[in-house]
Amino acid sequence: MRYLIILLCFLYQCFGEGTVPDQVHLSFTGDMTEMAVVWNTFAEASQDVYYKKIGIGASSTAKGSSEAWVYGGITRYRHKATMTGLDYSSEYEYTIASRTFSFKTLSNNPQSYKVCVFGDLGYWHGNSTESIIKHGLAGDFDFIVHLGDIAYDLHTNNGQVGDSYLNVFEPLISKMPYMVIAGNHEDDYQNFTNYQKRFSVPDNGHNDNQFYSFDLGPVHWVGVSTENYGYYYSYGMDPVMTQYDWLKRDLTTANSNRAATPWIFTFQHRPFYCSNVNSAECQSFENRLVRTGWLDMPGLEPLFLQNSVDFGFWGHEHSYERFYPVADRTYWNDPNAYVNPKAPVYLISGSAGCHTPDAWFSDQPWPWSAARNNDYGWSIVTIANRTHVRVEQISIDKNEQTVDDFWVIKDEGYTHSGEMRRASSGTKFPAQKCHFKDVACQRSLKEINEEL
């Protein structure tokens, strides 16, 4: 079937009209009375979006912008429009050229909703694809967060694998927001061109969709690029520092706004911690670099600790792993570890489906590893209210059984950075030791200890 889709796409691009909207998908803008829609054509076309409440009133027009981009000798035209003035809890239909789609908006400041979270999902080996689409169309979650490594790869076969992947998911992602972050497989040797051109995210002021944030109900969601670190030797230090400065401001603001938005969730690709042993990734320099920094390059963990990030979701490892609250390898695994956690709770959900064999783990897990599973699968994150969050891991190998299920609970106003201040009792925290030349590490520890 997938071979047929690619063949049809090729014939369509070469011999068809090419102006029919292709790969239609939605995304949040940061304003919950808006919805962005992005699509491609393979011939130049000026296209607007006509939208209205289903069965009610006249339609409105969202002016579409168009931009030509070339990859692998194929010219595509990226189109984007933003539907504005949307009412909450309402169903809309929208039409682009000859095609009509629909979506439903969330309630005003929703205190409860569900999110499908996964990473590392390929077109050819999309083990979870059918399950995710089925459950999404059934209304089992409200939007998607994809933790990087999209299609394997967006740029493969001159970008046609990316085209086909987005068309397979179009029935779902044309109906609900598809929020993404770049993984290492999004590097297409042209500074992530395929990723940059195919997706729209809330504006961060830097004309760069590799990092962004938005508020939804009780959660401040933050997408962070680990690939600025992983590819600094190709694209320089500027992306690292630009994101770091933005992230520091964003998290500081979010942390000061806990009364309105009590949770801070981050999502990114390469994890701070993991215990897979089928590759060297968990101990690789690039992964440690993201967490601790190196020389003048600042790591991300100090920012997460200083600003009491509650959850971090990651991909990259082709497995599922849940961690006890952990801060710089100091961990808490008591029976109530997830009640008022003393550090961020991290979770890897990178087993949606890819080209590699099953991941495997050492017989003895790292002490901060709480649950591990190498079945193909995906996660559902339920924001139950301002104080309770639930995570479930769905196994494709076990006929969609739930193979992990846990709650994180915290009191109103609780932040783990405050707990660390009380626990430190004048001692230095955490207990990391830095290489004497590692300026970034020393600076990070100084910032943490001054903050705590």
DSSP sequence for 61-85: EEPPEEEEEEETTEEEEEEEEEE-S
Q: Which of 106, 133, 157 is the last residue of a domain?
A: 106
pLDDT at 431: 45
158 plus 215 within the same structural domain: yes
pLDDT at 442: 62
Residue 359 lies in a domain: yes
25 plus 128 within the same structural domain: no
234 plus 156 within the same structural domain: yes
64 plus 92 within the same structural domain: yes
pLDDT, tens only, 149-198: 999 999 999 999 999 999 999 999 999 999 999 999 999 999 999 999 99
129 plus 74 within the same structural domain: no
Q: Find the domain containing 192 and state its range.
A: 109-417
- With a pLDDT cut of 90, the percent of the chain lying above it is 78
403 plus 270 within the same structural domain: yes
187 plus 326 within the same structural domain: yes
Residue 388 lies in a domain: yes
DSSP characters over 343-390: S-EEEEE--SB-SSPPP-B-SS--TTEEEEE-SSEEEEEEE-SSSEEE
97 plus 173 within the same structural domain: no
User: How far from 329 is each of 212, 323, 395, CA to CA, in Å?
Assistant: 27, 11, 29
Q: How far apart are CA 179 and CA 374, in angstroms?
A: 24
- What residue type is assigned to position 385 of the chain? N
228 plus 271 within the same structural domain: yes
- Check: CB of residue 116 under 8 Å from CB of residue 143: yes
Q: How far apart are CA 238 and CA 442, in angstroms?
A: 21
Helix, coil or strand: residue 312: strand
- Number of structural domains found in the chain: 2
Nearest to 154 by CA among 192, 116, 208: 192
Long-range CB contacts for residues 401-406, cutoff 8 Å, separation at least 24? 403/320, 403/373, 403/375, 403/377, 404/320, 404/322, 404/371, 404/373, 406/322, 406/338, 406/371
Radius of gyration from C-alpha coordinates of the chain:
22
Residue 442 lies in a domain: no
Q: Which of 106, 141, 159 is the last residue of a domain?
A: 106
Instruction: Collect the ranges in the chain with pLDDT lower than 70.
Output: 1-17, 364, 421-452
HSE-CB of 15 using CA atoms within 13 angstroms: 5
Question: Which pair of structure tokens corresponds to residue 188?
Answer: 């297409």
pLDDT at 11: 47
318 plus 231 within the same structural domain: yes
Residue 87 lies in a domain: yes
174 plus 63 within the same structural domain: no
Residue with tokens 């992005």: 38
pLDDT at 57: 82
pLDDT, tens only, 240-253: 999 999 999 999 99
397 burial via Cβ count (<10 Å: 0-12, 13-18, 19+): middle
Which CATH number characterizes residue 266's domain? 3.60.21.10
Residue 236 lies in a domain: yes
Residue 429 lies in a domain: no
Helix, coil or strand: residue 238: helix
Which CATH number characterizes residue 23's domain? 2.60.40.380
322 burial via Cβ count (<10 Å: 0-12, 13-18, 19+): buried
- Check: CB of residue 143 under 8 Å from CB of residue 177: yes
pLDDT, tens only, 392-407: 999 999 999 999 999 9
Residue 325 lies in a domain: yes
pLDDT at 278: 76
- Cis upstream peptide for 48 (omega within 30°): no
The pTM is what? Answer: 0.92
Q: How far apart are CA 227 and CA 314, in angstroms?
A: 13
Q: Which of 86, 106, 126 is the last residue of a domain?
A: 106
116 plus 83 within the same structural domain: no
pLDDT at 287: 78
Nearest to 156 by CA among 319, 2, 279, 350: 2
DSSP 431: -
Nearest to 174 by CA among 380, 6, 23, 5: 23
Residue 438 lies in a domain: no
Strands (E), 72-200: 74-83, 91-96, 99-104, 113-118, 121-122, 143-146, 150-151, 178-180
- Check: CB of residue 376 under 8 Å from CB of residue 355: no
